[in-house]
Amino acid sequence: MSKDTFTLGGKEFSSRFILGSGKYSMELIKAAVENAGAQIITLAVRRTNTKKSENILDYIPEGVTLLPNTSGARDAKEAVRIARMSRELGCGDFVKIEIMKDSKYLLTEILAKEGFTVLPYMYPDLYTARDLANAGAAAIMPLASPIGSNKGLATKEFIQIIIDESDLPVIVDAGIGKPSQACEAMEMGAAAIMANTAIATAGDIPAMAGAFKSAIEAGRSAYLAGLGRVLERGAQASDPLTGFLRD
């Protein structure tokens, strides 16, 4: 069987779980990453710009790809500055865009031309996804429900349209609150899952990271296997209604 991987920015990844690093203590980051089997972790650039003993980069295992975000940027100019700063800090060329819709296209194009691997976070709209792809995005990151809400796949039908119609990897981001919801998104054909709050607010962070890992792998396996059909009406017995015993 061929290795099941996906590619972003010319890099190949076998893990389809992108882990957030916000909302929980830095001491737990390493354990969460290891239990999740994550190969990509997001971070706010501001968390790398503190005194050395509190630098988040000291807590992320070696070999994990960093995905800085532009959280806090008020416009495209500030977001570009944050992206360039993250590169100078040694965070690499990956960047997650988190600003208002009107600036996303311009920002994606600017950063893509500068060699960044741009992953824009967006409301799941097919036309927006196409425009971002044309602007140079490396993947599409539609939200499942309001960020930090843990409400699950509230936008499921819209995400499915993007998955079906987009040539780029679709990474479901924001609002995934349970491992079962991550599994369902992977069964739909998502390339990966991004989760933070569901893990950060769990009773046992490392254990929940491991649960998400297992769920994402199960969902991917189910998608590759091909889900069974669903009857819109009626029912159908599992055994044929023939060959009964007779007196």
**So which residues are the catalytic ones?**
96
User: Across the strands, what pairs with 97?
Assistant: 120
Q: How many residues does the chain have?
A: 247
d(CA 160, CA 124): 9
Cβ partners under 8 Å of residue 225, min gap 6: none
First to last CA, the chain: 51
* The two three-digit tokens of residue 3, written as one number: 């290795």
Q: What one-letter code names the amino acid at 187? A: E
What is residue 17's three-state secondary structure?
A: strand
Radius of gyration of the chain (CA): 20
